[in-house]
Structure 1
Amino acid sequence: MSAEKGAASRRRQPMGGGLAGRGEGRGAGRAQAGPEPEPRSRLKMEAPGPAPAPRRFTWEEIAQRSARGPPPQERWLVIDRKVYDISRFHRRHPGGSRVISHYAGQDATDPFIAFHPDKALVRKYMSPLLIGELAPDQPSFEPSKNKKLVEDFRELRVAVEKMGLLKPNRTFFMLHLCHILLLDIAAWLTIWYFGSSTVPFLISAVLLGTVQAQAGWLQHDFGHLSVFSESRWNHLVHKFVIGHLKGAPASWWNHLHFQHHAKPNCFRKDPDVNMHPLFFALGKTLSVELGVQKKKFMPYNHQHKYFFIIGPPALVPLYFQWYIFYFVVQRKQWVDLAWMLTFYIRFFLTYLPLLGVKGILGLHLLVRFIESNWFVWVTQMNHIPMHIDYDKNVDWFSTQLQATCNVHQSLFNDWFSGHLNFQIEHHLFPTMPRHNYWKVAPLVKSLCAKHGIEYHCKPLLTAFADIVHLPDISFSFAL
C-alpha cells in the first residue's frame, strides 16, 4: 500500500507543490503546447496568403496527350480554356469511354455544350479532373481552326437557347408514341379478325415494320435527351421504347450513336464507317489506301450492285439481331437484357396462338426485313455520299457540315425519316427536339452562306440514288 501511495504521489508531483511549483508547471505546459494563439483582432487584420497559381499549358502540350503512342497514354482535353485530365475518368464516363476519348488532345468545348443539357451539374463532377488552364498567350481553341466561324456558331447557339428551340413539346412526342401503339394493336387485330392467310399476314407485317421504324425514330429522341428536362426520365422511357417496343439494348445504341455524333464519317472514330472495308470502301481516302495496299476483300468496283443485297435487307435481321445479344452479355448489361426479353415475350405470347411457331418466326423475320430496309436507306442517305476521312480536328460546325446533308422537307419526309431529313440541324444541336429543326434551319443556312460553306439539301429519291453511286470510289483501284 505504501509503495502504491508513493508512486501515486510521484505521479501527482508535477501538478502539485507550492506556488512556485504550480508556476513552473504552467510554464512547462505552455512550452510544450507552443505559443498562445494570436488575438482575434490581429488575425482579422492579416490578409490571407495568395492562392496557388493554376498550371498553364500550350496547345502543343495538350495535343501530345491524345492517348497515342507508347504508355502511359495520357488523355487531356480543353473545355472553356480549362484543361482536364481524363486519363482515368474516361472509363467511367456516363456517355462511354470512346466518345470522350475521341476529343483527347483537342478542344471539346462545342461538343460538351452540344451533348450536355444540364451543364452546371456536369461541371461539378468535372472539378476533380481540372489540372490547369490554357496559358494567357494561347487562343481559346486550336490555331488551325477558323476563329470567326467558331465564334459565329457559338453566337448562334446562344440565340437558339434564347429562342427556346431546345425546349420540347411533350404533347408531340406523346402523340407519336400513341400512333406507334395504335399501329401495333392494329397489326394484331388484323390477323386476329381476318385470319392468317397471305393478305392479312402481309398487312400485319407492314404495320409491324412501320411500328419498328417509327419506334426507332422515337427512341432516338429519348436517347438524345430531347424530351424531358430530367435525364433520368429520358433514360427510363428510352429503355422502354428501344427495349420493350423494339427488343434492342439502350446501352448498345448509346455506345455507338454518340461516337457517330462526336466524329461523324471519321475512320476509327465513327462506328458507322468502321465496318469497312469488310464490305464497302467508302470515301476517296480509304479507297486509295486499299488500292495501294492491294487489300481487295470484296470486288469494290461492283459494290453499287451488291449493296442492295448486303446493306438494306441484311443489316438488321442478319447482323444486329445476334450482335445485340452478344453485346449485352459480353458487357453484362443485364437490365437492358431484361427489357429486351419483355419484347420477345410479348411478341410470342400475342402471335403464337394465332400463327404457330413457323408462322411467328416467318412474321418476325419479315418485319425485321422491312425495318432493315427502311432504317438503312434513311440513315445512310445523310452520310455515305458526304466526305469521309480520318479525323482532321476541324471545328464543330465544319465537322458536322462536311459529313451530313439534308433532304427536302414535307409532311411525308418528316414522318418517314423521323425528321432526320434535317440531319444537319440535328448534328449541330443533338439535344434539340426534332419539331424545332425547321425553325433553326434558316439560321444555319445563313451561317453557311456567310462563311462560304455548302449547305447540302436534296430530294428524297436523289438522296437514295446518291447512296448507290458511292462517289469517288471505283477509280482508286486502278492505281
Structure 2
Amino acid sequence: MMFEEKPEGNGSLIDENQLYLGVKQQANRKPGASGKAKFSARQEANDKCYLPRKSLSMYTWQEIQRHNQETDQWLVINRKVYNVTGWADRHPGGRKVLSHYAGEDSTDVFRAMHPDPDIVQLYLKPLLIGELAPEEPNQERNKNSQLVEDFQELRRTLETMNLFNANLGFFFLHLAQILVLEALAWVIVWHFGSGWLVTMFISCLLTVAQAQCSFLQHDMAHLSMFKKAKWNHLMQIFVMGHLKGLSAKWWNMQHFQHHVKTNIYLKDPDVNLGPFLVMGDLQPVKYGKNKIKFINYEKQHLYFCMVGAPLFMLVYINMKSILAMYRRRAWKDIAWVSSFYIRYFITFGPFYGIFGTMVLIYLIKFLEGPWMAYVTQMSHIPMKMSNEENQDWFSTQVLATCNVEQSFFNDWFTGHLNFQIEHHLFPTMPRHNYHKVAPLVKSLCAKHGLPYVNKPMLKAFGDTLRALKKYGALWKEAYCMHPQT
C-alpha cells in the first residue's frame, strides 16, 4: 500500500491543533482563518495525492541505512524516503522517536502511532526526497517479509472490523468513576471528620481514583476520540495535569519512546533505570564488568519491593515530571499541574490545613506507587531486553511484552494493560477491544513460531521479582569474575 492511498494509523505523535492551524493557513494564507477555511485536512491531503510531481530519486537500502545519525536522519514509509533531519526538533512527539528509526523502514510504527496519516502527510510532503529502487524489498533484507505482510493484513482486517473506533461511553464511564470517588472522599471527610481511620479510608478511595486516572490518561495519550483535535488535546491535559498532577508533555515523550523501541537499551526510557536497577541479560553484565555498584544489585528485587515500588509515583515519576517542566519552561503544564494542588487545597484544606493536605497528597501517591509499578512493569521486566536488532514491528513488540489473564477484576485493576501485547501492536486501539483482537494475534504468533505469553496476575507479579533477582545474580557474577583495572 502506497502512502498516498490513505493507510489508517493509530496513536498520535502530532499535535493536531497545530496541524489544523497549518491547513487553515495554507488554505487562506493567513493564520487563524475560520469558517470555510476549516477545510478538512484529510480532504486536502487526498487532493494533493493526485497532483503530478517530479520524478523521485531512487535509493537502495544500503544507501538509506547510512543516514542513521542524529544529524542525518532518513526514514522509509511505504517505500517513500523522507529526510526528517531538519524537522526532528519540531516533531511534537519528540526528536528521539524519529532518531530511533533513522535509516530504517518505519511503515508499521508510523501507522501504529498516527491516527490520521493523511493529515501528517501535509508535513511529510516537503520532506520527501525519493523512494526505494524497484528491485529493493519493502523492508530491510534481515526482516521476515512474510511476517510483515501478514501483520499488515491483520491490521487491515481489524480496520475493516472497526476495532479502532472508540466507544465514548466506555471512557466517560471511567471518568465518572474517578469523579465520583473524589466526591465521595470529600463527603466522607465532611460528614465524619478528619480522624485517623477516616483519613486512611479516603486515602484508599483517592488512591483508586488516581490509579484509574493513570489508565484514563494512558487512553487520552493514544486515542483520537473527538473530531476536533483541540478537544482531544484539552481532555488529555485535563486528565493528566488537573486530575493527575503530572506533565502531559513529559509523559507523552517518555511513553512514545517506550512504545516505538520497547525494551531496547538506550532507546526505551523504561529500561534505562540505572543506577537504581539493572535489567535484562546485557546491562547487569556491563555494570558488573565495569565495577559499577551504586547499590548492591544482587538484592535489587528486595529494594524494588520495599523502596522502589512505594516511591515509584511519589518520588521517581513526580520528580521527573517537575524537572522536565522546569527545564523546558512548560508553562501550560505547570499551570495545569498547579491546578491539581490548588483543587486539593480547596477541597481538603479546611479539614487538614496546608501541611496536612500535602501529607494526604503524598500518602495517596505512596499508596499508588506499588500498584502502578507492578502493573506497568510486570509485562516488560521478565521479557526480552536487547540492543538494537532492527527487527520487524510485530516481533519486537511480541518478544518484549506479555499478557496477564483476562477477568473482570484483572481488566479493571490494570486498566486493560493486562493486554500489553495487543496494546503495543496497536497502541491506540481502544482498550475495550483488546480481548477481541487477542485470538487473532495469538494465531499469527503461532503461525510464525513466536511466543504468545499469557499468565495469571500473581505469577506475573512474581516473575517481575524473579527476573530482577536473576539480573542481580548476573551482575554479581560479572562483578566478582572481572578484577578491577
Which residue number corresponds to residue 477 of structure 1?
A: 476
Partners in 2 of 1:319 and 1:117 — Cα distance? 31
Identity percentage of aligned residues: 51
Which residue number corresponds to residue 184 of structure 2?
A: 186
Which residue number corresponds to residue 391 of structure 1?
A: 388
Correspondence for 1:113 among 111, 114, 117: 111
Correspondence for 1:59 among 54, 58, 61: 61
Partners in 2 of 1:110 and 1:379 — Cα distance? 24
Does structure 1 residue 279 correspond to structure 2 residue 267? no
Structure 1 residue runs without a partner (length 5+): 1-49
TM-score scaled by length of structure 2 = 0.85
Correspondence for 1:468 among 460, 465, 469: 465
Please tell me the residue identity of whatever aligns with 1:61.
E
- Bigger shift: residues 338-347 or 318-327: 318-327
- Bigger shift: residues 426-435 or 356-365: 356-365
Contact 2:288 2:476 in 1 (8 A): yes
Q: Deviations over 1:424-469 (max 9, x none)?
A: 0000001100000000111000000101111001001000001111
Following superposition of structure 1 onto structure 2, how do residues 72-221 of structure 1 map, counting pairs within 5 Å? 73-221=71-219
Contact 1:227 1:433 in 2 (8 A): no
Deviation at 1:419, TM superposition (A): 0.4
Correspondence for 1:350 among 347, 351, 358: 347
Partners in 1 of 2:210 and 2:465 — Cα distance? 24
Please tell me the residue identity of whatever aligns with 2:155.
R
Contact 2:297 2:475 in 1 (8 A): no
Contact 2:82 2:128 in 1 (8 A): yes
Which residue number corresponds to residue 418 of structure 1?
A: 415
Q: Deviations over 1:32-73 (max 9, x none)?
A: xxxxxxxxxxxxxxxxxx9753211111111111116xxxx3
Does structure 1 residue 307 correspond to structure 2 residue 304? yes
State the secondary structure of the residue aligned to 2:390. Answer: coil
Contact 1:408 1:421 in 2 (8 A): yes
Following superposition of structure 1 onto structure 2, how do residues 9-48 of structure 1 map, counting pairs within 5 Å? none
Contact 1:378 1:417 in 2 (8 A): yes
Partners in 2 of 1:113 and 1:209 — Cα distance? 35
Contact 1:173 1:227 in 2 (8 A): no
State the secondary structure of the residue aligned to 2:135. Answer: coil
Deviation at 1:235, TM superposition (A): 1.4
Q: Which has the larger radius of gyration?
A: 1
Q: Deviations over 1:259-288 (max 9, x none)?
A: 000001111111111122x01110001122
Contact 1:245 1:343 in 2 (8 A): yes
Please tell me the residue identity of whatever aligns with 1:56.
M
Please tell me the residue identity of whatever aligns with 2:60.
T
Correspondence for 1:364 among 361, 365, 375: 361
Which residue number corresponds to residue 232 of structure 1?
A: 230
Indicate how the Cα distance of structure 1 residues 51 and 85 shifts in structure 2: closer, same or farther if over 3 A, else same. Answer: closer
Which residue number corresponds to residue 3 of structure 1?
A: none
Deviation at 1:136, TM superposition (A): 1.2
Deviation at 1:322, TM superposition (A): 2.8
Relative contact order higher in (CA < 8 Å, ≥ 6 apart) = 2
Deviation at 1:230, TM superposition (A): 4.2
Q: Deviations over 1:150-196 (max 9, x none)?
A: 00000000000000000011011111101110000011111111111
Partners in 2 of 1:162 and 1:127 — Cα distance? 27
TM-score scaled by length of structure 1 = 0.86
Deviation at 1:229, TM superposition (A): 4.3
Counting matched residue pairs gives 425
State the secondary structure of the residue aligned to 1:273. Answer: coil
Superposed CA RMSD in Å reads 1.4
Contact 2:404 2:457 in 1 (8 A): yes
State the secondary structure of the residue aligned to 2:130. Answer: strand
